[in-house]
A and B are shown apart, each in its own frame.
Chain A
Amino acid sequence: MTNSKVCVLGAGSTKYGKLNESIIEIALDAAKDAIDSAGITPKEIQAGYISNVFGVADRQVHMAPVIMSNLGISHVPGLTIESACGSGSVMFREAYANVAAGFYDYVLALGVEKVTHTSTVHSTTLFSYCSDFFYEGGNGASFPGLFASMARAYMNTHNATEEDLANVAVKNHENGFLNPKAHIRKRITVDEVLKSPVVASPLKLLDCCPFSDGASATILCSEEFAKKSGRPYMEIIGSGRGASPAAVQGREDITTIPSTVAAAKQAYKMAGVTPKDINFAEVHDCFTIAEIIDIEDLGFFPKGKAAHAVRDGATRLTGEIPINPSGGLKSKGHPIGATGVGQVVEVFDQFTGRAGERTVPNAEIALAHNFGATGASAAVHIFRKVDRK
């Protein structure tokens, strides 16, 4: 077995939002798009990697074999992976590693979620099970609450303001407005964010991503097969995983996420690039404070400076480092099992001319970052556009 270069040959997503289909039908929609986009048929797929968290809410667990069976390839082994909101990227890493190791030539990496049919209070409760429940959810902290505690710590340490956080939401809604598959395609203002109802102080409704349904899928293959395809593709040049104490209270510094720092360090080293080489990034902005912390932990801005950079427009589509051209979790939506894969789909769309008005011009190298819970688990991947000319 030899480690070989791994490429993304196909990608597809459903629209994110409130979807009426079953979780399996949603997954199959994305799978079909990815398979068509790769120019293959299901019979080429040798393994399926599926990420999902709350399948039980739609009466379906053991997702992988059900999806493979409905693709007409019930003999192909599948694996379902859960890592809270980071499930998609963590699963993508396993799919990548198995192709890199030579076990498979083609795999399907697909994330899916369906939660909007449950009440907001019940969804909030389900999400709180992703925390270290004995210390966090069990003491009354919801996920907005946990990130609100991080926001308060950050604001207290770095003199940031609620308006600084609001700027992240405004920017991501600007981008999401240009994305036909985004859950919330609506431009918003700082004033609207600040006046929206408080969910968990200091975070307000428009600081929070929505609960979304949706699926995203990719086809990974070895470089040999990508080259033979004659189709546009991108190479995975960096991959990293990291971990943090599961509970916020266990972290020495609440204004940083250690798993992101570790995963990014590995991915940059493997890719042989630095943050300055990244042309755009899809990062985990489940709440506005998360994006501020992410873009510091990923090395795009010094600690304590991201809020000012966002205010100055550095992260807009036309800025020095566009962040979340898709609209991010905040506007595009957050079907948690699919989110990490959806970020890869956005990179693929950007590199293959499918991103329309939100295209980042001349982008060649991009980064995708996704974490679970408050960052207990994280993965970072770096991609290089392959020029077919």
Chain B
Amino acid sequence: MMKKLSVKENTREKFIEAANRKKILAHRCTTCGHLMLETVLYCEKCSGSKLEHAELEGAGTVVTYTIQAVAPEGFEDAGSYAWVVFKVDNHQLRASGFLPGVKTPADLPIGTRVRVTGFDPKHGLMLQK
């Protein structure tokens, strides 16, 4: 009989749990040091399987984004928001998330600082300027 994964072994649940503590959970390859998001299970650079958890501060700078004028299902009631790609502080790692309250590009120049505020079951990784 297959062993059911516990919540502790589920990479997405771990990522979400860390986001709710305003952190970005990553995997670091113990062989080459490459840093990846928690959900990647083999090193993207050397294919090594020995990975350790790295809990990073959930803060960074905006690399690019869009303001969704036509929202997909589940986001119709979200008001004007941006989907943002940001570079995590002090690392090359990038993450993406949901930033409410952005109405025009003037509200969010490239390079704006953002931080993780939690993980919403409906809207995903929540960000704040």
Residues of A within 8 A of B (CB): 120-122, 124-125, 128, 134-142, 144-146, 148-150, 152-153, 156, 197-203, 247-250, 254
Contact = CB atoms under 8 A, between A and B. Distances in A.
B76 to A, nearest CB: 7
Contact of B65 (A125, A135, A144, A149): A149
Nearest to B124: A139
Contacts of B124: 134, 138-140
A201 B69 contact: yes
Contact of B64 (A120, A137, A152, A198): A152
B63 A254 contact: yes
A124 B64 contact: no
Given A149-B64, A149-B65, A144 B70 contact: yes
A139 B97 CA distance: 5
Interface in B77-112: 78, 81, 83, 85, 94-98, 104-105, 110
Nearest to A153: B64
A122 B71 CA distance: 10
Nearest to A128: B72
Interface of B: 12, 37, 39, 63-76, 78, 81, 83, 85, 94-98, 104-105, 110, 123-125
Contacts of A247: 96
A78 B121 CA distance: 40
Contacts of A201: 66-67, 69, 104-105
Given A139-B123, A139-B124, A254-B63, A200 B70 contact: yes
B64 A140 contact: no
Contacts of B94: 249-250
20 contacts: A122-B73, A128-B72, A134-B12, A135-B37, A135-B95, A136-B83, A139-B125, A140-B75, A140-B78, A140-B83, A142-B71, A148-B66, A149-B65, A153-B63, A156-B64, A200-B69, A201-B67, A201-B69, A248-B96, A250-B94
Contacts of A153: 63-64
A30 to B, nearest CB: 30
A202 B66 CA distance: 7
Given A125-B73, A136-B96, A156-B64, 19 more contacts: A135-B37, A136-B83, A139-B96, A139-B123, A139-B125, A140-B83, A141-B83, A142-B72, A149-B83, A199-B70, A200-B67, A200-B70, A201-B67, A201-B104, A201-B105, A248-B85, A249-B94, A249-B95, A250-B94
Contacts of A145: 66, 68, 83
Contacts of A146: 66, 83
B76 A141 contact: no
A201 B74 CA distance: 19
A142 B12 contact: no
B93 to A, nearest CB: 9
Given A156-B64, A156-B110, A248-B85, A141 B69 contact: no
Contacts of A121: 70, 72-73, 76
A138 B73 CA distance: 10
Nearest to A144: B70
B85 A125 contact: no
A137 B72 contact: yes
A170 B98 CA distance: 33
Given A139-B83, A140-B71, A140-B83, A134 B39 contact: yes
Contacts of A142: 68, 70-72
A140 B81 contact: yes
